[in-house]
Structure 1
Amino acid sequence: MTGEPRAIPQNRTDVVRAARFAVANFNEANIDDIYAYKILNITSAKIQIVAGVNYILDVHLGRTSCKRSTPSTEQCVLQTQVKTLQCHFIITEIPWKNLFILALKRCV
């Protein structure tokens, strides 16, 4: 139903794409750390149909040995003493504009 968030598989292609977008934005904005983070796993995924699509994701991140400026962290190795974060992201996709917006990021 329109407006109601519903659970979806965490490994769906569109979920992974939205999570990668959120983490790239997180790394770019995380000026308190010189190292980039990457996705360890997506622990929860919901979708909400609005004027576009909201992806409501809980993502477990790990700190890598790559610098924040690294365009893609997928190949980056995790640090030996892995620092992890649990993040809650809301990503809005407007498909007809080919646009993603990180509407909320909260990491602890």
Structure 2
Amino acid sequence: MAKGEIFVLRYDPERRPCWDVVKDLGGYSVFVGKNQPVVLRPEDAPAVRPNCVYWINDKSRHEPMVFDMATGTSTLRPSADKALNPSCRPVCWYFLDDKILGVEGHTR
């Protein structure tokens, strides 16, 4: 895999092979960090882009990255705190809304 490349798999226990690569997240966005993954609908969070995987680049000072499923590329997601203070600590995602979905698609 190339640096910054991400692939998403769908599990279907009725098929063989049971894992299949998907090219679209159905309009949802996935946040992957050091804790539980979170799935959001961009309509509930206007700054979030649909069909993207948000992840933290451990190799590059914990910078927030966005992988666009349509283009297959990862780009740096600028942080407002870092723009104001370049020595700012790593990014952290907090989700305090009941509209967040679990990875399985069930409301928390």
TM-score band, normalised by the shorter chain? under 0.3
Greater relative contact order (CA < 8 Å, ≥ 6 in sequence) = 1
Q: Which has the larger radius of gyration?
A: 2
In terms of fraction of residues, the more strand-rich structure is 1
In terms of fraction of residues, the more helix-rich structure is 1
TM-score normalised to structure 2 length: 0.27
TM-score normalised to structure 1 length: 0.27
